[in-house]
Structures are given as structure tokens and as C-alpha cells.
Amino acid sequence: VNQFISVSDLLPMDTDAGLHTANIQGSASFTTQSGRRYYVYIVKGSGTINGETYQEGDGFAITFEKNIDFFGEISEVIVIDLK
């Protein structure tokens, strides 16, 4: 809970991308890397991400943030990390 786990090694991907998942209760933060783009998908639950309210089924792109901060009742999140 509240930790991101890379599942990239479990999938046969021949690309410079990462796939991370987390079960979140309360708060968690995902540290981004400069020059990369991120797509966040809310699988289950609701809350705020970097101050914006999101709910189950929502998704959004993040490009210039140093962190992706999750707060609230978000329970399952996928973060896709792209070059």
C-alpha cells in the first residue's frame, strides 16, 4: 500500500517505457524524471492528483511536474512512463 511497483519486467516490451502500479490509501508520491512523459490512469477510487480532483476511469498526461502527488481515496493507479 502507498508504494509504486514497477511491473515493466513482467511484460514483454521492447521500448523505453515503464509501467508502474500502486494501491493507495491516504497519500503517495511518484517521482518523475526530466525529459520523460507520464500518463496516469485511475483504475479504482477517487481523490486528488497534484491538486486536481479525479475519479475512477479518469486519465491524464503529465510532462513537467517533478512529482505526481496522490491524496485521498484513490485505491488503484497505473502510471505509464514514456520517453
pLDDT computed for residue 21 by the predictor: 92
How many CB atoms lie under 10 A from the CB of residue 30?
21
* Residue 62 · residue 68 · CB < 8 Å: yes
> pLDDT band at residue 2, thresholds of 50, 70 and 90?
confident
Q: pTM for this one? A: 0.83
Reported as a single tens digit per residue, the pLDDT across 29-81 is 999 999 999 999 999 999 999 999 999 999 999 999 999 999 988 789 999 99
Name the residue type at position 63.
T
Q: What residue has cell string 491524496?
A: 71
Q: What residue has cell string 486528488?
A: 48
pLDDT computed for residue 12 by the predictor: 67
Reported as a single tens digit per residue, the pLDDT across 7-23 is 766 666 667 888 899 99
